[in-house]
Amino acid sequence: MTLTQLEYLLAVEKYGSFTEAANKCFVTQPTLSMQIQKLEEELGVIIFRREKQPIVPTEIGKKIIQQAKQILKEKERLHVILQVERGEFAGTLRIAVIPTISSYLIPMFLSNFTKKYPNVELVIDEVTTDEVISGLEKNNFDLGIIALRSNNGNLLTETLYYEPFVAFLPPDHKLIKKDKINIEDLNVNDFLLLKEGHCLREQILSVCKSNKYDWIEKSNKVVFESGNLDTIIKLVEQKFGMTLLPYLTLQYIKEKKKLNLIRKFNNPVPKREVGFIYTDTFVKTHLLKALKEEILKVIPDELKENKSGLVIH
């Protein structure tokens, strides 16, 4: 049994195809198939059911694959121990980030991080919260950056900052006359929302529910649900509705016309808790610490603690 055979094993389990697994491992399909067959012969079991498409593991195969993951994780842990001992920062860190964070946070720290740690490759995927969690459980990602939930299952979390929401109003909205607004002022029927699956959508609905407003009534406005927050911002300017924006978006809004449409909240200010999420087998803790330090350098101090506000999970 070799570590290479175990890596081939996990590739087939991940992609459900000997051909695609071979491509990802940069070997020929016959080479990969032969190595897995040798492993099956050595263990005296059939690991994969070849007759199904995509290829799936047998019951004993599932147990072997789970153990293979642990073995390869320990191999990775050994390399990390040596890196830390030498004071080295190298390797790949696969990060999954939700869109309403990635668009505004990543440009703030990415350049500084890559300059400081040139031997670390960041592979960043922009996906929904559910896809982050699923990807972590399948080992497709090392680390997620999300708006933390009240229940994150068996995954571990670390808080980065607490991000307030601000209201972005159409020019003719009744709340535009106020310097600051209250949660009680919100009516869910006024909102343009992101599509289902985006946590910002659920957070906006939670904020609206928290004011005990009878929000089940129908609206005669255009119903438009987008997967892109920038599209919603443009539609708000065209008077199709309002939305809530994460605080960090403000640094990218330079036009005075748009800034005049922003209203902050009186206390309690609705906020989201942004943080890391990862499995209990995550081993690249020195890279996580380095990433966290670079992120916190660019986050406003007032966001690093939740001194007052309503945290929406």
Residue-number span of the structural domain to which 107 is assigned: 87-160+273-311
Q: Are residues 92 and 152 in the same domain?
A: yes
Q: Are residues 257 and 206 in the same domain?
A: yes
Q: Locate 164 and state its tokens.
A: 């307030």
pTM of the model: 0.78
Measured CA to CA in angstroms, residue 313 lies from 2, 57, 147, 148, 293 at distances of 45, 37, 8, 6, 24
Q: Are residues 290 and 190 in the same domain?
A: no
End-to-end CA separation in angstroms for the chain: 46
- Given 84, 115, 134, the domain boundary residue is 84
- What pLDDT shows up at residue 298? 96
Q: Does residue 214 carry a pLDDT above 50?
A: no
Q: What is the mean pLDDT of the chain?
A: 88
Please list, in sequence order, all residues whose beta carbon lies within 8 angstroms of the beta carbon of residue 272, skipping any fewer than 6 positions away. Answer: 147, 148, 162, 163, 165, 199, 203, 246, 311, 312, 313
Q: Are residues 267 and 167 in the same domain?
A: yes
The amino acid that residue 203 corresponds to is Q
What confidence category does residue 178 fall into, taking pLDDT thresholds of 50, 70 and 90? very high
Q: Are residues 105 and 154 in the same domain?
A: yes
Please report, rounded to a whole number, the percentage of residues in the chain having pLDDT higher than 70. Answer: 94
Q: Are residues 210 and 122 in the same domain?
A: no
The tens digit of pLDDT for each residue in 55-107 reads: 999 999 999 998 998 898 888 888 878 877 777 788 899 999 999 999 999 99
What confidence category does residue 230 fall into, taking pLDDT thresholds of 50, 70 and 90? confident
- Given 84, 100, 132, the domain boundary residue is 84
Q: Are residues 78 and 91 in the same domain?
A: no
- Mean pLDDT calculated for residue range 214-222: 47
Q: Are residues 144 and 290 in the same domain?
A: yes
Tokens 């939700």 -> residue:
98
- Given 65, 84, 103, the domain boundary residue is 84
Please report, rounded to a whole number, the percentage of residues in the chain having pLDDT higher than 90. Answer: 60
Q: Are residues 224 and 279 in the same domain?
A: no
- What pLDDT shows up at residue 151? 82
In the chain, how many domains are there? Answer: 3
Q: Are residues 256 and 116 in the same domain?
A: no
Q: Does residue 224 carry a pLDDT above 60?
A: no
Q: Tell which wins on pLDDT, 207 or 246.
A: 246
Q: Are residues 233 and 195 in the same domain?
A: yes
The CATH number for 105's domain is: 3.40.190.10
Strand partners, 143: 95
CA–CA separation, 300 and 290 (whole Å) = 18
Q: Are residues 168 and 260 in the same domain?
A: yes
The CATH number for 59's domain is: 1.10.10.10
